[in-house]
Amino acid sequence: GGAATHATTGHPTPVTSVGATAVPFHGAHQAGIITPLRAQAIGHLAAFDLASGTGRKEAAALLRRWSAAAEAMTQGRAPAGDDQIALDAGPCSLTVTFGFGRTFFSRTGLAHRAPAALVPVPRFPSDAIDPKRSDGDLWIQVGADDPLVGFHALHVLQKAAAGTAEVRWQMSGFNRAPGATARPKTVRNLMGQIDGTGNPEPTGKDFARTIFTRRGGPADQAWMNGGSYAVVRRIRMLLGPWADLTRTQQEEVIGRRKDTGAPLSAPAGASETTPMELNRFTRGGSLAIPADAHIRVAAPESNDGAAMLRRGFSYHDGYRADGTPDAGLLFITWQADPEAFIKVQTKLDGADHLTRFIRHESSAVFAVPGGAAPGEYVGQRLLEG
Ligand SMILES: C=CC1=C(C)c2cc3[nH]c(cc4nc(cc5[nH]c(cc1n2)c(C)c5CCC(=O)O)C(CCC(=O)O)=C4C)c(C)c3C=C
Ligand SMILES: [Fe+2]
């Protein structure tokens, strides 16, 4: 990290604010959930399965190695045995987040300490799930504002797992680069919608309670204090049929305008922050936000208050045999209990107009422990407690 040397002049030039920004690794919560607050430009998700014969001791050693490497790289230092791939770059808001899948607990003799909330996500009627790209014993989410920094982190962590855990599946995605817009804005997804507006407000009184587990549970699950549950869904967008809709039809599928992100219940000139009014009617007498509009069906008001933080990455993995793009959303939600996602998705699968334009192709849920204190590694309270 630090100063870079200009290729032609040889003069050292300081890294820009994008490069120099470091997100703390240590804290009550792991980084990559609510820090940094804005979306990172790139993301890698990788699930690992433990190698046969690997138990709790080897898993603990791996989490120790992973945490040490993640702490160094996120703070702009070279990890042990570095390969110099990101040598010129600063930390670029790198975050590394670690999670445990259900199968981790039985494979390490820790089944009795698996959180009760870590239930498998059920199959929904519209699902087209590929089991090989789903689930996994361990999970890593890498986020960064620079592609090379992101690859470097993933590569270092994958190498550090050698002999202990093997990659089960890996997916990469992106958001807009910082500085691409004149001022910071909510990201757009590959359907062209402003995506993220209705997320819980960081200043709201229920923000932390929605996302993070609370103290006071059973003692053998105290290792999850300050933790969260990540639900990961690879959702392909059917961009051909989507493009066949008029813009007005597309707006009715979601319930918000494409340009401003304002809800269809709001008057002209409203912005994405204008509150939606589910009971407003048009002059013609129909619901301004249609009955099957995505935001109506997904809203906490329609789901007994069930809420989650959505923080995903778009993906594009080339073209399928039929010529359509293999593109969509690496949809990641963070919640204090995966039941929030299950409740909302159960409703969406039957009633949401958007269902006709997307396919859920992989699914996983991970218990993501609280952050490590200095000198500690992520998951230590589970593995050594
Ligand atoms: C189970 C939960 C959800 C899935 C799956 C999901 C998929 C999905 N969503 C979009 C695009 C948008 N979603 C928007 C809002 C929104 N979506 C969910 C939940 C799921 N979405 C919630 C809880 C909300 C917020 C509702 C509210 O209270 O306002 C929006 C509107 C802008 C926003 O609030 O972010 C868009 C656009 C896609 C493309 C997609 C699958 C590919
Ligand atoms: Fe949504």
* Tens digits of residue pLDDT in 179-227: 999 998 999 999 999 999 999 999 999 999 999 998 777 777 899 999 9
CB-ligand 1 contact for 189 (6 Å cutoff): yes
Q: Is the CB of 253 under 6 A from ligand 1?
A: no
For ligand 1, is residue 229 a contact (CB within 6 Å)? no
Question: Which residue minimizes the CA distance to atom 2 of ligand 1?
Answer: 345
137 labelled catalytic: no
Q: What is the DSSP letter of 146?
A: S
Cβ of 332 less than 6 Å from ligand 1 = no
- Report pLDDT for 221: 84
Between the CA of 44 and the centroid of ligand 1 the distance, in Å, is 21
Contacts of 281 (CB under 8 A, 6+ apart): 287, 288
Largest CA distance in the chain: 69
Q: What is the predicted pLDDT for the residue at 14?
A: 60
Pair 162, 81: CB distance under 8 Å: no
Expressed in angstroms and rounded, the spacing between residue 308 Cα and the centre of ligand 1 is: 10
Residue ranges in the chain modelled with pLDDT below 50: 1-7
Q: pLDDT at position 75, please?
A: 98
**Cis geometry, peptide bond prior to residue 120 (ω within 30 degrees of 0):** no
A 10 A CB-CB count for 69 gives 22
Specify the pTM.
Answer: 0.96
8 Å CB contact between 154 and 46 = yes
Per-residue pLDDT at 2: 40
Task: Give how far Cα 31 sits from Cα of 67, 134, 227, Å.
Answer: 12, 23, 11
SS3 at position 65: helix
Token duo for residue 377: 């590694």
To the nearest 10 degrees (0 to 180), the angle between helices 56-74 and 147-160 is: 160
Alpha carbon distance 352, 342 (integer Å): 15
Degrees, nearest 5: CA angle 20-22-25: 160
pLDDT in tens, 20-31: 999 999 999 999
pLDDT value at position 57?
A: 98
Identity of residue 213? T
